[in-house]
Structures are given as structure tokens and as C-alpha cells.
């Protein structure tokens, strides 16, 4: 455990780890910026304020967490969320069965919005800031130790996703070069979070990455990565503002995970579809990709498909029926697959678009502001605004209302079983 800073100046140096400044621990990232002058920082020192908030480790273990652990029946999901302007990662828990409330088991306040998460074999949670992000964190809920942070130096930004090797010793992050806009995969040591190697993704706006499950993708026993290059142009000075969409170049790439060598690259015919989030079919033979449309024409954008499938050879879109497609608003937030089929969360449609494993439309499962999806024991868990669904692709999904600590919370795009 880090020591408690004795003065504002010491507090600024305690990054990471450090003690907890009570004002910042209670305030949230927006309030941390307002507190900057009071803590001895120049007005407008956003980075210093965020560093202070992160380094001071405002984490909480919920009162009922120990009891839930002792019972041994809890379903746990690592998630990211926003509540009244503050941002958190944490572990949510519930019990199987309809009506069981989803509660906060443990939480860590983070400086800015988190996006992708990953679990390590030792129970640690990895999370990174959404693009263009400047922090990566490894945190072990309930262990009593401070979270470990890595901060970018301004030359690179995180793109919101992190992946771990099977043994948990190596991490892989998608990142963007601030000067050129090119995207990179950075291999990192899981203990220190320091970079160990890096390779180009042969595109821009690289987003989610996933292990190739099909025996090295035809490359013998070599481990391979598949990366979604979203292809949406942005610039450091304008952050997430999209620019020159007519030059979009989204692609799916396969890389040798030892050397970074490009093993293949695939594109959709429609250049205005951004490939973003990835999930394997239950047999590991077909990759599903959630799509986000960037068309200038409003009608074309809302009617665009939200799912593409990749069988290792060809990349193709699958579509909802023409009279239904516009209701999905051309935005897939996350994707997952169970033996019952594919699921794509469509928060703007307040439902889960469902397809057979072959890609035939099945229907829309209603859930207000649904976004994160995860599969546990063959059943889909889907997170919404006020409730979440267990076995969401079943004829009768089980409803889990959100507990008091999750009231008004907006879950981010992803959660993973913990």
C-alpha cells in the first residue's frame, strides 16, 4: 500500500501508487479538474489533475462483497461505467435466477472514461481509457494493494482495448501514433505495463484485438492476432472528432503475435462501415465483427448492417430485413455468440439484434440502452440501463434489476466474466 501524501506537492508526486486525498476520492474526474488550483496546480492543468485522481487510488469494496464471496454462488462481471460525470471500473455481482439484483462488488474510480477490459489469471482487472486515451491500469479487486498505472507521454494514445496472453505474462494494446495517425499493436509486460515490442496494424483507428482461435490461422503453431482497424480518421488536436470520412479505410488484419508480420488483410465493399468489436462463434471457426456506420447520407447510415462475419477466408456483412434495419440505427455496440446464435447490442435501438450462427435474422430482444455483452456457460449476459438480462437469447430471458449503487449508471460497451 502506498503512503498517504502529506502535502499537495507530495500528492502530485504520488503517481502511482499513493494514498488517498479524501476530496478527490469523493469527487470524480470533473471535480478533480475544478480542485486543481486548491491542490497547488495551475488552473487548466487537466493532466496533473487526472494524474492525481488516478494515483490516489479511490477504490471501494462493497459492504456485501465478503458475504457474496463466502456464499460462492455469485456471478461476477468486470465492467466499466459512468455515473454523474465520474468514471469507474469494477466488478459487478448477482445470483443466478430472475429478480436477483445486480450489485457493485468492488469499484475503482478512474480519471476518464474506460472502455475495454481484460481479466488476468490472478484475478486482476486490466482496463484502458477509450480513444484517444492516456492511461492503462491493472487492479486486483479486494487485494488491498494499490492499482498500477501506466501513462502515455503524448506521442501515443490508447485506443480502448487490451488483450492478455493465455499465461497472463504479456499484454497487447491497440494504440495510435499522435504525429502520423498510424495504429500500432504494443506488446507490454503484464507486471510493469512497460512496452516490450510494437508492430504496425497496417491501418488507422485500430480498435479491438483478439486471439485467432483456429490453430494460428493456417500459419502452423505460431500464435496470431486479429485486429479490427476502424479506419476512421481523427487528429490529435481534435480528439474524437471524425475527419475526412471519405478517406475511411477500415480493415481486418491477421498478425504474427511473435514478430508482427502481416499474414492477411480484408476489407468490406462498403468503405463507410467501421469494423470495431470482435467475438468468436462457439466453435471458434467464425469471427463476428460489430459494425458502426459512418455514411454521410442519414438514410444509408441508419439502415446499414451492424454485423459482419469472417470465416478465415472471406469477410461479409449480414443484414436485418429491410423493414427492420433502419430501427437498428447502423450502430453495433458490442457482439457475442452462443450456441443460440449471434448477438449485437444496439443501444440506439434499445435492444439486442440477434442472428443465427449462419447469419440469418432472428429478431430484436428489447433492453433499454443495452451495450455490454458476455457469455458465461453458453448463456448471454446483457447489460442495460436499469436492468440486465441473463440468458438473453433464450425464449424467456431472466431479468436482473440493478441495485441501488447502479441506479443512473450507464454501462460502457464491454464487460467480461470475472
Domains and CATH numbers, the chain: 1-57 (no CATH), 111-267 (2.130.10.10)
pLDDT tens-digit series, residues 6-43: 322 222 222 333 333 222 233 334 434 443 333 333 33
SS3 content of the chain, % helix, strand, coil (to 5): 15, 45, 40
Cell match 496470431: residue? 224
Determine the distance from the C-alpha atom of residue 372 to the mean position of all C-alpha atoms in its chain, rounded to a whole number.
9
d(CA 273, CA 394): 29
pLDDT at 4 over 50: no
Query: How far is C-alpha 366 from the geometric centre of its chain's CA atoms?
Result: 22
334-338 and 273-280 beta bridge pairing: unpaired
The percent of residues above 90 in pLDDT, for the chain, comes to 73
H helices of 256-338, in order, are: 298-302
DSSP character for 209? Answer: E
Burial class of residue 173 (count of CB atoms within 10 Å of its CB; 0-12, 13-18, 19+): buried
* CB contact at 8 A, 265 and 256: no
Q: Are 171 and 164 spatial neighbours (Cβ–Cβ below 8 Å)?
A: yes
Separation between Cα atoms, residue 380 and residue 356, nearest integer Å: 14
18 φ, ψ to 5°?
-160, 180
Percentage of residues in the chain with pLDDT exceeding 70?
79
Cis? peptide before 17, omega within 30° of 0: yes
Is 380 in contact with 334 (CB distance < 8 Å)?
no
Nearest to 291 by CA among 278, 280, 300, 282: 278
- pLDDT category at 52 given cuts 50, 70, 90 is very low
pLDDT tens profile 308-341: 999 999 999 999 999 999 999 999 999 999 999 9
pLDDT at 117: 97
Q: Is 383 within 8 Å of 81 (Cβ atoms)?
A: no
Q: Does pLDDT of 275 surpass 70?
A: yes
Is residue 240 very low, low, confident or very high in pLDDT (cuts 50, 70, 90)? low
Between 177 and 63, whose confidence is greater?
177
Amino acid at each position: 500500500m502506498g503512503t498517504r501524501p502529506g502535502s499537495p506537492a507530495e500528492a502530485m508526486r504520488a503517481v502511482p501508487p499513493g494514498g488517498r486525498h479524501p476530496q478527490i476520492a469523493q469527487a470524480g474526474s470533473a471535480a478533480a479538474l475544478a480542485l486543481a488550483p486548491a491542490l497547488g496546480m495551475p488552473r487548466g492543468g487537466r493532466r496533473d489533475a487526472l494524474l492525481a485522481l488516478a494515483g490516489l487510488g479511490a477504490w471501494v469494496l462493497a459492504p456485501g462483497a465478503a458475504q457474496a464471496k463466502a456464499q460462492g454462488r455469485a456471478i461476477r462481471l468486470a465492467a466499466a461505467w459512468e455515473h454523474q460525470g465520474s468514471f469507474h471500473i469494477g466488478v459487478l455481482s448477482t445470483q443466478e435466477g430472475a429478480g436477483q439484483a445486480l450489485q457493485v462488488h468492488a469499484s475503482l474510480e478512474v480519471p476518464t472514461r474506460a472502455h475495454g477490459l481484460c481479466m488476468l489469471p490472478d484475478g486482476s482487472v486490466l482496463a484502458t481509457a477509450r480513444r484517444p486515451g492516456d492511461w492503462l491500469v491493472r487492479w486486483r479487486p479486494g487485494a488491498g494493494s494499490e492499482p498500477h498505472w501506466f501513462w502515455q507521454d503524448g506521442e501515443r494514445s490508447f485506443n480502448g482495448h487490451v488483450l492478455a496472453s493465455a499465461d497472463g505474462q504479456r499484454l497487447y494494446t491497440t494504440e495510435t501514433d499522435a504525429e502520423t495517425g498510424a495504429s500500432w499493436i504494443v506488446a507490454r509486460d503484464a507486471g510493469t505495463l512497460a512496452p516490450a515490442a510494437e508492430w504496425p496494424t497496417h491501418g488507422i483507428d485500430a480498435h479491438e484485438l483478439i486471439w485467432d482461435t483456429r490453430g494460428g490461422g493456417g500459419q502452423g503453431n505460431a500464435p496470431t492476432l486479429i485486429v479490427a482497424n476502424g479506419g476512421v480518421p481523427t487528429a490529435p488536436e481534435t480528439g474524437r472528432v471524425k475527419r475526412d470520412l471519405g478517406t475511411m479505410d477500415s480493415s481486418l488484419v491477421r498478425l504474427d503475435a511473435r514478430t508482427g508480420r502481416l499474414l492477411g488483410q480484408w476489407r468490406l465493399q462498403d468503405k463507410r462501415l467501421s469494423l470495431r468489436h470482435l467475438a468468436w462463434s462457439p466453435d471458434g471457426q467464425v469471427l463476428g465483427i460489430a459494425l458502426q456506420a459512418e455514411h454521410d447520407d442519414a438514410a444509408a447510415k441508419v439502415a446499414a448492417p451492424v454485423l459482419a462475419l469472417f470465416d478465415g477466408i472471406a469477410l461479409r456483412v449480414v443484414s436485418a430485413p429491410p423493414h427492420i434495419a433502419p430501427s437498428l440505427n447502423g450502430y453495433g455496440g458490442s457482439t457475442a455468440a452462443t450456441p443460440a446464435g449471434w448477438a449485437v447490442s444496439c443501444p440506439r435501438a434499445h435492444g439486442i439484434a440477434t442472428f443465427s450462427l449462419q447469419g440469418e435474422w432472428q429478431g430484436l430482444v428489447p433492453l433499454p440502452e443495452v451495450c455490454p455483452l458476455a457469455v458465461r456457460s453458453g448463456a448471454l449476459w446483457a447489460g442495460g440501463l436499469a436492468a440486465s438480462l441473463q440468458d438473453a437469447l433464450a425464449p424467456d430471458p431472466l431479468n436482473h434489476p440493478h441495485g441501488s449503487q447502479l441506479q443512473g449508471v450507464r454501462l460502457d460497451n464491454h464487460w467480461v466474466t470475472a
